[in-house]
Chains A and B, each alone.
Chain A
Amino acid sequence: MEIKYISKEGLNEWFSQIVKSGKRVYAPVRERGQVEFKRVQALSEVAEDYIQTTQSIKSSVFPRAEVLFSFEKENGKVAVEDFNPDAVKETVLWKVHPCDAAGFKPLTAIFNWDYKDKLYNTHLEKTTLVTFSCAKADNSCFCTSVNGGPGNTAGSDVQLTMMPEGGAIVEILTPKGEALIQLAVSAFEKDKGEDKSKYLVDVPKVFDVEEIKARLATAFDSPVWKEQSERCLGCGACAFVCPTCACFDIQEDAHGSKGKRIRCWDACGFSLFTLHTSGHNPRAVQSQRWRQRILHKFSYMPDRLSVLGCTGCGRCSRACPVDMNILEHLISIAKK
């Protein structure tokens, strides 16, 4: 890893060179009171002074709805057109938080643990992540309890730590990150030897994830699931804003003789998720679905994929319409 410094002016120059290079740049943008990742052309469009975007940036590699292939029928015969990787554009994700970048690890594990998912891998290969370490957090943030941190570099290609005068410490972490630096190499200066940790917010560690995993191993029949989920609406908001949730449905979008097969986000919190055509539903009530959500993230994924299904971004708690707070639930599980 190489460390450099970039001034406020240098940052502007680098950003405009990235846009000029033809890569698509997505960054947090404030619109109607919300901050979301949008395509941007200038650094001035990028939002400041916010804690977290409502949506994570996982849609850049796992789009909300994505065409798996197209087909056309004629006289009982079918012709198919495969997914075209060349149509996927080079993309830079700008000002991603470390918790979102950390989400790419579980996503990659899911999409590659056995069968390799060409669509996901194509998006990932063409994506460069520029993360900004966190100087702010709120009560929903718990990255440090799930092996992350406000300056965690996992998943990042380049990480910037902003300094009060508007410049930044630049950590160049991967060859992709290095290639991005090369677009405006003169904008970067020698490392000033500053310790980035003094610019990071303090996110206290509130539970031990290994302890939770150990408790979950025997918690399948615990009354805790019913207690915690009694007000759960099964709306799926928590899964849709989550940077690591990757459950999907496969749907047909067909009109006349032409159609597309589409993969779209789904959620284990939905009552229809496991419903069989016969009418049998192994997870017939919401407490079973809530249990699945927690066990999948904190027990099954660590066991099967050696990765946690949670990065502590806190979005699920912020998005929940009935104020279910995963952090409180996890603390209560850890204490049981």
Chain B
Amino acid sequence: MSEQNIYLPYLMTIDKIINEAPGVRTFRLKFQNEEEADAFNFKAGQFGEYSAFGEGESTFCIASSPTRKGYIECTFRETGRVTTGLSKLEEGSTMGFRGPFGNTFPIDEWKGKNLVFIAGGIALPPMRCVIWNSLDLRENFKDITIVYGAKSVNDLVYKHELNEWEERPDVNLVTTVDPGGETPDWKGEIGFVPAIVEKVAPSPENTIVIVCGPPIMIKFTFPVLAKLGFKDDQIYTTLENRMKCGVGKCGRCNVGKLYVCKDGPVFSKKQLNSIPAEEY
């Protein structure tokens, strides 16, 4: 019996904690075991199961880029038992990580194309991985547009990186907040993400769109993209169904015959059309 226990997490040290927004934190994690660190690999889009020992596991995407070696990052909002437990941990503490799990964004197939990223609220983290992955391989892609919205200015995550993308000449960043969420000195857009996408009106010509956000945002963004001329196989998203085991066994992320943890979390809109929408 040589196989590993797939439920046993890697032990990770919290190297750095960044407070992103109210209740939202980013942890930079390093492997405690060097051999595990050396053997570890992942690709943009994959997720993990993160443990607060004594509280349990929670599922988040890996928010850092595979082009940045030596650590992984996760960003989470303090919401339930596990995320509250994680929030109590300090820099230097030990937590657990299982992964990487799931499929990946087919970034190699996107070479030579324009990329449009559309994210809402706490859904920027799953996209940040592929954004940095693309920016670190910038010469592989043509125009890169990022449309990111949150309820309020305060709720925008990765504020330091938004500034960095804003200043880059090779990135077109459009930020927006919901009406009423602006501050007096807010210079971005005001309005819901789907409306802003319509206003930005990216061309579907040789372009891939990656959409991540709350179900309501995705629901209203898809018709806008269709109106702009995007075909379903040009649109990608990640699903975030309830997951526990991460390895296709516990049964709860079953959507139609697919498992989000194994067949996803990355799906093209074309693939989504073949599974029942009410199940995700």
Chain A contact residues, CB within 8 Å of chain B: 68-69, 71, 73, 76-78, 80, 82-83, 85, 110-111, 113-119, 121-122, 125, 220, 246-252, 254, 259, 261, 263, 266, 268, 273-278, 280, 282-283, 288, 292, 296, 299-300, 303-304
Contact = CB atoms under 8 A, between A and B. Distances in A.
A296 B53 contact: no
Contacts of A273: 242, 252
Interface in B230-257: 240-242, 244-245, 247-252, 254-257
Given A76-B94, A122-B1, A247-B251, 9 more contacts: A68-B7, A80-B11, A115-B248, A247-B250, A254-B54, A268-B252, A273-B242, A282-B278, A300-B257
Given A250-B56, A277-B80, A118 B248 contact: no
A249 B68 CA distance: 34
25 contacts: A68-B5, A77-B94, A78-B94, A80-B9, A80-B11, A83-B7, A118-B5, A121-B3, A220-B276, A248-B244, A248-B250, A249-B244, A250-B57, A250-B244, A250-B245, A251-B56, A254-B53, A266-B250, A266-B251, A274-B242, A275-B242, A276-B242, A282-B278, A300-B257, A303-B257
Contacts of A300: 254, 256-257
Interface string B21-42: 0000000000000000000000
B90 interface: yes
B1 A76 contact: no
B254 A69 contact: no
B157 to A, nearest CB: 16
Nearest to A110: B249
Given A71-B53, A252-B54, A288 B278 contact: yes
A296 B254 contact: yes
B79 interface: yes
Interface in B59-93: 79-80, 83, 89-90, 92-93
Contacts of A303: 257
A298 to B, nearest CB: 12
Interface of B: 1, 3-9, 11, 51, 53-57, 79-80, 83, 89-90, 92-96, 215, 240-242, 244-245, 247-252, 254-257, 262, 276, 278-280
Nearest to B6: A115
8 pairs of A and B residues whose beta carbons are closest in the complex: A247-B251, A254-B54, A68-B7, A115-B247, A78-B94, A76-B93, A300-B257, A277-B80
Nearest to A85: B1
A69 B7 contact: yes
Contacts of A68: 5, 7-8
B276 to A, nearest CB: 6
Contacts of A246: 249, 251
A21 to B, nearest CB: 21
Contacts of B7: 68-69, 83, 119, 250, 261, 263
Contacts of B6: 115-118
B88 to A, nearest CB: 11
Contacts of A110: 249
A268 B251 contact: yes
Contacts of A261: 7, 51, 56-57
Given A76-B93, A82-B8, A250-B7, A117 B249 contact: yes
